[in-house]
Structure 1
Amino acid sequence: MSVDEQLEQPCVLNRECAVAAEHLTVATEVTSTGGVKAEPRRRERRRLWQDYALAAGSLLGERFAGIKDLHFGLWQTGDEITLSNLSIAQQRYSEFVIGSLPVESTTILDVGCGNGRFADRLLMAGKCVTCVSPNLLLNRAARELLGNRAVVIDSRFEQMQTANLAFDVILFVESFQYVDMEGAMRKAVSLMRPAGRIVICDFFRRSEMGVSPISGGHAWEDFESRLRENGLFVSKSVDITHNVAPTFDLVNDVFQGIVAPLYAEAITTLEQAHPVLSKIARWTLRRKLQKFQHKYLGGQRTGEAFASFKTYRLVELRHRFTRHDN
């Protein structure tokens, strides 16, 4: 079913969402080489690999560990940081974010919806949800889960085109780090209702701390500057860095206890079984292998490092000036 056909279906939650959905159109401007227009090829390649990693992580996590969510999780003092408890921390995280949304909000745009699990929880909380993501594999999983209860749009948020449609909340749940900050803010402001909110739950870099062993996240100082440029102000900010950080200890333990030994054994086996091929491969891929070993097997990606170099916040943004609906 096409997006237009999906939008013709009535929203099962409320008439307001159904009427709004009738006006939604989506278009992504693509160059002849297949990349998003005006986007540097290097950045586009990185985003494609990020999309792949998210999809792979979702499939592997659900298949082998029973982990259905893509979020870090929210840990409390006294929690045992184990893989078996991760799903509980993720459930707590979802409840925290949904509980932080304005009570009066009805229509939600879930930016970077992943496999649709969070959108499903929003629907169960009585919200009317539209999802947007460029990750086709995860979008397929989201459509299977959500059915006709929500529209899932194949597009980068920054290129999403709408006609006469606005939302109560533009929601970024660990997806803001992947968007172009300036383009995303402009787009979000254009999609907000006059009393609408932008809600971001994600981590940012603390630039004053120097180079982090954990990559990702926009610089917090740049974020604050962009807010002013787009007429936005912070109406709520909750720092949950130390509640999220233990997830990195868990992931680091998995890499140190499982991935590192398997990697070492694979290298040894390759050297013994195919010595010539092993030398060629290790020489050709030496920089990538060194980067992988340093980044993922060096034991530096811990909760302590995350808390030192990042700040993880739930931030609610509002516009400084009253606007009319589109």
Structure 2
Amino acid sequence: MPRACERYTLRPVSLRIVPPPPRSSVASAPAPVPAAPPRWPGPQGRQLFRQAADGKSPRQVKTSFALQFLHRIVGLEHLNFGIWSEDDPLDVTGLRRAQERLVARLFELLPSGVSSVLDVGCGTGVISERLTALGYDVEGLSPDPYHGRLFAGRLPERRFHLGRFQEFEPDRRYDLLFLCESAQYVWLEDFFQAVERSLAPGGSVLLCDYFTVEFDQGRPRSGHPLDEFLARAEAAGLVLEVDEDVTPSVLPTLRLGQAIVDRFGHGILNLLRDASTSRFPRLAGAAWRLAGPVTRRLDRLDRLLDPEAFAMTRSYRVMRFRSAP
């Protein structure tokens, strides 16, 4: 037999509306406003950058993961070549010694009468920190936000400018422009225009960098032509006071770079390939195809780090220029 329908009884529900409490005649204290987050990365001042000529972002902010690798994984404070001696081991310890030797030479060439310094391409901020400890009024500049964080950690009271040197519109002139392998990243015409905007009358430009002395068709292009750089410097009214060719002394940096690329770059890539082949054989072909662009990039880096080709086509110089008073 079918089950009898159950009966439900609807009971009335009493809804009691509770009125809000009466307003007090005394004004209540306003809720505390949370403190504004600190400005990153420290006291930057105004953002002093013009619109880029190529129509892109005027500050061209970007992060270099290769430099982060050298700092965070390899453990380097300086992100540049080094001047090696015969007793330096070809390892990271030897590289640190060589880099310190190059920086020491730059500090020996600091001109007298300097107060304000702009560290162009300041990297980890270690050079700016040392200049500040010597009593200089230092500001840093880099398009890399990672460098900005490091700079703020070392020198929280100093100004850091996040952007490219070629678009920098300073609100002051500096007695010294310090460039440790930074000039090569700026087109020549833009570089000397930025120098003119930033350098005080009678100021100096102290730099170390490598330059092209002979073009090699099979080698990736890197570095300004040396003769054109010197000609443009002269046209800009800069007098060359110091010019040292230290190319033979920096070549071990490239040999060590090749060893690092081979061990970490190719080594990790080969490990991933082997793992994908053994554990996921059906995906091995796709993995090898995806690894192709990375392999080509590593091969290009190997050619760029070739010390013999570098010695034939490049010249590493330490230079100091002075402008007219």
Q: Same fold (TM over 0.5)?
A: yes
Residues 1:268 and 2:274 aligned together: yes
Shift of 1:28: 2.9
The correspondence of residues 1-326 of structure 1 with structure 2, limited to 5 A, is: 1-2=38-39, 6=43, 25-29=46-50, 36-38=52-54, 48=62, 51-62=64-75, 67-148=76-157, 150-163=158-171, 165-206=172-213, 208-211=214-217, 213=219, 215-283=221-289, 286=292, 288-296=293-301, 301-319=305-323, 321-322=324-325
Deviations 1:102-146 (A, max 9, x none): 022221110011110111111122221111111111110111011
Determine the C-alpha separation between the residues in 2 that align with 1:132 and 1:56. 20
Determine the C-alpha separation between the residues in 2 that align with 1:228 and 1:3. 39
Unmatched runs of 5 consecutive residues or more in structure 2: 1-37
Please tell me whether the aligned partners of residues 214 and 306 of structure 1 are also in contact (alpha carbons under 8 angstroms): no
Determine the C-alpha separation between the residues in 2 that align with 1:199 and 1:211. 31
Please tell me whether the aligned partners of residues 42 and 159 of structure 2 are also in contact (alpha carbons under 8 angstroms): no
Compute the RMSD of aligned alpha carbons.
Answer: 2.9
Shift of 1:213: 4.0
Greater fraction of residues in helix: 1
What residue in structure 2 maps to residue 10 of structure 1? none
Please tell me whether the aligned partners of residues 144 and 162 of structure 2 are also in contact (alpha carbons under 8 angstroms): yes
Letter in 1 for 2:250: V
Shift of 1:311: 0.8
Letter in 2 for 1:180: W
What residue in structure 2 maps to residue 13 of structure 1? none
Please tell me whether the aligned partners of residues 273 and 287 of structure 2 are also in contact (alpha carbons under 8 angstroms): no
Identity %: 23
User: TM-score, normalising length from structure 1?
Assistant: 0.77
Detail structure 1 runs of 4+ shifted over 6 Å in the superposition: none
Unmatched runs of 5 consecutive residues or more in structure 1: 8-23, 31-35
Measured at CA, do residues 297 and 37 of structure 1 come closer, stay the same or move farther in structure 2, by a change above 3 Å? closer
User: TM-score, normalising length from structure 2?
Assistant: 0.77
Determine the C-alpha separation between the residues in 1 that align with 2:271 and 2:65. 26
**Count of residues paired in the alignment:** 287
